[in-house]
A and B are shown apart, each in its own frame.
Chain A
């Protein structure tokens, strides 16, 4: 078992078309680093100068990391990390 990262539709092209990517790591930061290592095109979609883009929210098992330990939030095999950007249209 690994950590599952759910990739939102607008970022899938940069993730090789995958909706879900298996990654490894002890924190959200590590997990995202592994994701970007596998799919380097995601770097600029997710980060802006080392910071997560402000309209992309990160949830670990449906909990927002901003009230957990931010990027240092611990993760282990079996958890789901969801990247959820704001939905603009309407």
Chain B
């Protein structure tokens, strides 16, 4: 047995962190007693999960809709080839690694798409919400739920060599909609697909986010960065632009000033999401009951190749010479590869999965 057995002195493993004056033993004990919901466990999310679990955040809920793919391994630090071979959902694969890193904290994996129907349940007991997502639909939802319930959250974004991060302390700082009024269209700003992404970009952005998380959870709110951090690792720029005076946008911010939670209430948001970095669209459909994969597989085998495990079903089919790959989840959600057009994806979904 190793000599870092958790039974001997549970705080020993955090000795270097506790020696840091801003943290101390008191800060460490706050971390151990704190709860975080991590929304998304891809590039940003795996870095966040890695830092938080090592730091001793007592409870980490990891929510992700995806499964591990070969193209993730370049930057998604908790995953390896065996996770790809085993077709594991990211939340499950991450939880396994996180428990190996630190068995003394609680990790709760949730394989689900974050949407307006589940985000309040997923964040209700959290002291802090962390953005490990890759799209603005989820970020505006997080922003709504965070402002509504007065919970801090930390935005992070990364494309190419560019990154951005902002900490939202509801009531104290501008919210995401104070600063960015509307979501960019994927075609108008870079996506991971068009611009690519360097691992250091996401590592650095997520490391800033993680630092903000440590400040908030250890009770060091005065140290929080209240401006918008923007950086480019290739062009050697790193600056904080001043956004603090945008708070509430003169009473006009729909979210934090008028308390209209448009994303949470369903005024915004769609049933399809074009996925960053892939020629793929996600179709969300709230099934009343979990799908029966045995039955679905039997139906689909007439049209193409089908494999499934308890987490997901894969289905390959050709239509008019175009190959498509469906990944279907038990909750009725599907990721359709081979198109980036929401309408085509919706049609394919309706044709093969139903409704």
Q: How far is the CA of A62 from the CA of B243 in the complex (A)?
A: 9
Does residue A85 face the partner (Cβ distance < 8 Å to B)?
Answer: yes
Beta-carbon contact of A54 and B182 below 8 Å: yes
Partner of A88, one of B42, B45, B181, B186: B186
Beta-carbon contact of A10 and B157 below 8 Å: no
Beta-carbon contact of B134 and A89 below 8 Å: yes
Which residues 219-269 in B have Cβ within 8 Å of A in the complex? 228, 230, 232, 235, 239-243, 245-246, 249
Known: A9-B160, A64-B241. A86 touches B180 (CB 8 A): yes
Does residue A84 face the partner (Cβ distance < 8 Å to B)?
Answer: yes
Q: How far is the CA of A19 from the CA of B235 in the complex (A)?
A: 10
Beta-carbon contact of B181 and A54 below 8 Å: yes
Q: How far is the CA of A5 from the CA of B253 in the complex (A)?
A: 28
- Chain B residues within an 8 Å CB radius of A66: 246, 249
- Chain B residues within an 8 Å CB radius of A63: 241-242
Does residue B298 face the partner (Cβ distance < 8 Å to A)?
Answer: no
Which residues 15-60 in A have Cβ within 8 Å of B in the complex? 19, 45, 53-55, 57, 59
- Chain A residues within an 8 Å CB radius of B202: 90
Q: How far is the CA of A25 from the CA of B235 in the complex (A)?
A: 27
Beta-carbon contact of B134 and A90 below 8 Å: yes
Q: How far is the CA of A82 from the CA of B241 in the complex (A)?
A: 10
Give the total of B residues in contact with A, Cβ under 8 Å. 50
Does residue B282 face the partner (Cβ distance < 8 Å to A)?
Answer: no
- Chain A residues within an 8 Å CB radius of B277: 89
Give the total of A residues in contact with B, Cβ under 8 Å. 23
Beta-carbon contact of A62 and B157 below 8 Å: no
Would you give the 0/1 interface string for B189-219, flagging 1 where the beta carbon is closer than 8 Å to chain A? Answer: 1111001010000100100000000000000
Does residue B43 face the partner (Cβ distance < 8 Å to A)?
Answer: yes
Q: How far is the CA of A67 from the CA of B250 in the complex (A)?
A: 9
Beta-carbon contact of B246 and A54 below 8 Å: no
- Chain B residues within an 8 Å CB radius of A1: none
Beta-carbon contact of B184 and A67 below 8 Å: no
Q: How far is the CA of A33 from the CA of B44 in the complex (A)?
A: 37
Query: A50: shortest Cβ distance to chain B, in Å?
Result: 16
Beta-carbon contact of A86 and B157 below 8 Å: yes
Beta-carbon contact of A62 and B242 below 8 Å: yes
Q: How far is the CA of A87 from the CA of B159 in the complex (A)?
A: 7
Beta-carbon contact of B239 and A57 below 8 Å: no
Does residue B324 face the partner (Cβ distance < 8 Å to A)?
Answer: no
Interface centre among B131, B184, B232, B242 (most CB of A within 10 A): B184
Known: A62-B242, A67-B246, A82-B241. A55 touches B132 (CB 8 A): no
Does residue B40 face the partner (Cβ distance < 8 Å to A)?
Answer: yes
Partner of A10, one of B164, B181, B188, B243: B188
Beta-carbon contact of A62 and B197 below 8 Å: no
Query: A66: shortest Cβ distance to chain B, in Å?
Result: 6
Which residues 22-51 in B have Cβ within 8 Å of A in the complex? 40, 42-45
Would you give the 0/1 interface string for B142-183, flagging 1 where the beta carbon is closer than 8 Å to chain A? Answer: 000000000000001111111110000000000000011111
Does residue B316 face the partner (Cβ distance < 8 Å to A)?
Answer: no
Partner of B135, one of A54, A57, A88: A88
Does residue B311 face the partner (Cβ distance < 8 Å to A)?
Answer: no
Known: A9-B195, A64-B243. A86 touches B190 (CB 8 A): no
- Chain A interface residues (CB < 8 Å from chain B): 8-10, 19, 45, 53-55, 57, 59, 62-64, 66-67, 82, 84-90
- Chain B interface residues (CB < 8 Å from chain A): 40, 42-45, 131-136, 156-164, 179-184, 186, 188-192, 195, 197, 202, 205, 228, 230, 232, 235, 239-243, 245-246, 249, 276-277
Other A-B contacts than A87-B189, A90-B133, 4 sampled, CB-CB below 8 A, are A62-B239, A88-B136, A89-B158, A89-B276
Instruction: Jot down 12 A-B pairs with beta carbons below 8 A, ordered by A.
Output: A9-B159, A9-B162, A9-B190, A10-B189, A10-B190, A59-B242, A86-B157, A86-B180, A86-B184, A87-B158, A88-B186, A90-B134
